[in-house]
Structure 1
């Protein structure tokens, strides 16, 4: 064990910083890998790295070595989580809206549009359950090295379980979007046979899709990979991603302001830990009940509004409001920040195209982690500048209200495959019930183009 007191006391707050930095780098870099090499290779490689790095932490001989290994370990875990999240979303986008190949979709669309929210929020609840169980495991283990070794063992078990191609195949959605039709056809046919349907003995409608896939496979084109920087050539898609990254940044960064209002002194570890985990579960249940009923954009707008109002009231009246009011506003703000962060991630997975979804979602998650890193960085300097940090994030929350209005509604829509598909996701009226699109683009490139589009659309 190493002493982190006296002249080495400043290294204590660096623990949360390197934890968040590892997750941030893992989300960004391995998100790029998901789009270049595929979801499954990144997932398996991340689990292999996480197992080895977790075992290496047990044998660390110095504190700097431990911090470096932990940062790499968190990055590998972030890559595995991101690849699994993207693959879960991508499975539901396969050939949606075409009305063809029922036998293909029945075994593969684990997250078709009506069930995407339920699968995503269910995975979040499992994450909360793990967060709540971790202190109990630490209490039983007593020694951090034993707990770290147990973590590496669990990761290795997951590798043995999910490393099988039959249990975690490559996403056919990504394969088709990048022009790898032959590989996609093999996986689709495997799922069709596993569902008890013979691909060669099917209806006329399903046979037409089979013929289309055969034609695509005959060409055997080279894979067409895309980079997330190609979004800057789009008119609307890059703005949608920028707005959702901004919302994620605010949801992660302003959380500390509400925690400081709840515990103005030096809090015990378990009180904020269990409070944040409990509110994350409450926010997940809230999204599960409302995001499909009201739509993604109205719920995100409501969460941002509550977030901004609670932050402004605490900023202006903490010294004058009763203690129960401060407590209520802080809890409400924490709940809203959790909801905004979770919905920003789901929203971004639904508006980014398949060809850049991994990198796009990684950047949005990275923005949220960057916001969370503001608090431990302030602790390094003895909490100096906390008031200014609160003011900045409160102002950002109000600005985000205007930005959220520019987003499209993705509820019930097929996930976009290409950059062009993502650019067609236009802003729709806020109170319209169905996921319809406006007739006019939000930001037309020029007036003649807008008039031409009007004439074409009648």
Structure 2
């Protein structure tokens, strides 16, 4: 019954990322955030009042659906608010805040042992997001990119004088004359499907989709060796998963600062590929050896699984962040939602394996191992985004191309060629 509940919640997140991503591009980031909070409070409280298992799974589906809208809208707002030098630092800070919440969850569950009471306690902090509609304005970057100049003008007139201590009233006549020309334009919003008409952007998005799917898919495939070592020890398993996430985020922070986005993603993908390949060989070897040597092989398999889970976790988080920087503002919600949906679909494959009691695990592992080998080649197609501004339109996003790492030789200037004389030389 537990795998069915997990599949319902995760599939709700998959559809939530896709739907709310499109809605965020059409109606704004802030309305999607507030709408998601209101509905998750409704469905979350309804889950605690479930009378049967079918009702519980259905409500968990919609709870995951709304939670995806909250995570997606907050991610976009943070990316579009930060300058280029602060985008990655704020993303890492957000990841560590989430991990602190995961560390505190067992303590909260200790004091509220009933699951319905724990459900209510977890939902209470979401009430703090509702005042965001008055505290935080809509993304100015999105308003300008979609040509909603009237709303952008209201935002500028309200916030710029207050934050910069400037008096705009003295220049109001000149500003109104200039803004009147653009305020008459109608808002221009873009569908995610228009990405098909680009030359490079659609390739980058597909590469990152495969990376995120592979990262979380093989991450949960690698957990088999960990769960066999600490079987039926829930708190030990949970603590190891949180520790892996902490070490993965720390390693991702260090490598990105040293090597940039693309080479860090390639490094973590290579580590994931090697760890999963070695673990697969050890599992095959364990079936041929005697029981006396299995303890050593279990320990080695646990070590490779631990390393592979750290790197695969970093692959998915870095792919999501990469997509937020590459995708233009007009379709950033849909593009980022597509990447996050692929990542959660990788989690669904692991829950499906649990339904069959891990039957077909070897095929599942080999499939994602082949995906890591494909991703190793595809990552080289991605551009580097360190220090670059976010693209606003499809044209801006399509201009992000990969720069070659080969040093071109400078051609020496040749001597000027003299034009031939129209007359033959005199003998």
Identify the TM-score tier after normalising by the shorter chain. Answer: 0.7 to 0.9
2:333 to 335, 355, 358: 358
More displaced stretch, 282-291 vs 238-247: 282-291
The answer to whether the aligner puts 1:89 opposite 2:79 as a matched pair is yes
The answer to whether the aligner puts 1:399 opposite 2:369 as a matched pair is no
The answer to whether the aligner puts 1:317 opposite 2:317 as a matched pair is no
Q: Provide the residue aligned with 1:150 in structure 2.
A: 121
In structure 2, do the counterparts of structure 1 residues 59 and 236 end up closer, same or farther at CA, with 3 Å as the change threshold? same
2:133 to 152, 163, 173: 163
Helix, strand or coil at the partner of 1:114: coil
The answer to whether the aligner puts 1:67 opposite 2:57 as a matched pair is yes
- Structure scoring higher RCO (CA < 8 A, sep ≥ 6) equals 2
Q: Provide the residue aligned with 1:223 in structure 2.
A: 187
| CA distance in structure 2 between the partners assigned to 1:211 and 1:13 by the alignment | 60
Q: Provide the residue aligned with 2:243 in structure 1.
A: 278
| CA distance in structure 1 between the partners assigned to 2:358 and 2:123 by the alignment | 34
Q: TM-score, normalised by structure 1?
A: 0.82
Shift of 1:216: 6.5
Helix, strand or coil at the partner of 2:85: helix
Shift of 1:201: 8.3
More displaced stretch, 313-322 vs 345-354: 313-322
**Preserved contact between residue 277 and residue 369 of structure 2 (Cα < 8 Å):** yes
**Preserved contact between residue 225 and residue 298 of structure 2 (Cα < 8 Å):** no
**Preserved contact between residue 292 and residue 411 of structure 1 (Cα < 8 Å):** no
**Preserved contact between residue 212 and residue 340 of structure 2 (Cα < 8 Å):** yes
Q: Provide the residue aligned with 1:57 in structure 2.
A: 47
Shift of 1:350: 0.2
Count, aligned residues: 395
Q: Provide the residue aligned with 2:84 in structure 1.
A: 113
More displaced stretch, 265-274 vs 354-363: 265-274
In structure 2, do the counterparts of structure 1 residues 270 and 425 end up closer, same or farther at CA, with 3 Å as the change threshold? same
**Preserved contact between residue 149 and residue 183 of structure 2 (Cα < 8 Å):** no
The answer to whether the aligner puts 1:236 opposite 2:200 as a matched pair is yes
| CA distance in structure 2 between the partners assigned to 1:141 and 1:392 by the alignment | 41
The answer to whether the aligner puts 1:379 opposite 2:354 as a matched pair is yes
Whichever of the two has the greater Rg, that structure is 2
Q: Provide the residue aligned with 1:417 in structure 2.
A: 392
- What are the equivalent positions in structure 2 for 1:300-315 lying under 5 Å apart? 300-315=265-280
**Preserved contact between residue 325 and residue 390 of structure 2 (Cα < 8 Å):** yes
**Preserved contact between residue 117 and residue 292 of structure 1 (Cα < 8 Å):** no
The answer to whether the aligner puts 1:43 opposite 2:11 as a matched pair is no
**Preserved contact between residue 283 and residue 339 of structure 1 (Cα < 8 Å):** yes
Gaps of 5+ in 1: 1-10, 92-110, 433-458
Shift of 1:429: 3.0
The answer to whether the aligner puts 1:19 opposite 2:14 as a matched pair is no
**Preserved contact between residue 18 and residue 338 of structure 2 (Cα < 8 Å):** yes
Shift of 1:67: 1.4
| CA distance in structure 2 between the partners assigned to 1:352 and 1:238 by the alignment | 9
Gaps of 5+ in 2: 287-295, 408-427
**Preserved contact between residue 13 and residue 67 of structure 2 (Cα < 8 Å):** yes
Shift of 1:218: 4.1
Q: Provide the residue aligned with 1:103 in structure 2.
A: none
| CA distance in structure 2 between the partners assigned to 1:120 and 1:151 by the alignment | 23
Q: TM-score, normalised by structure 2?
A: 0.88
Point out the structure with the larger helix share: 2
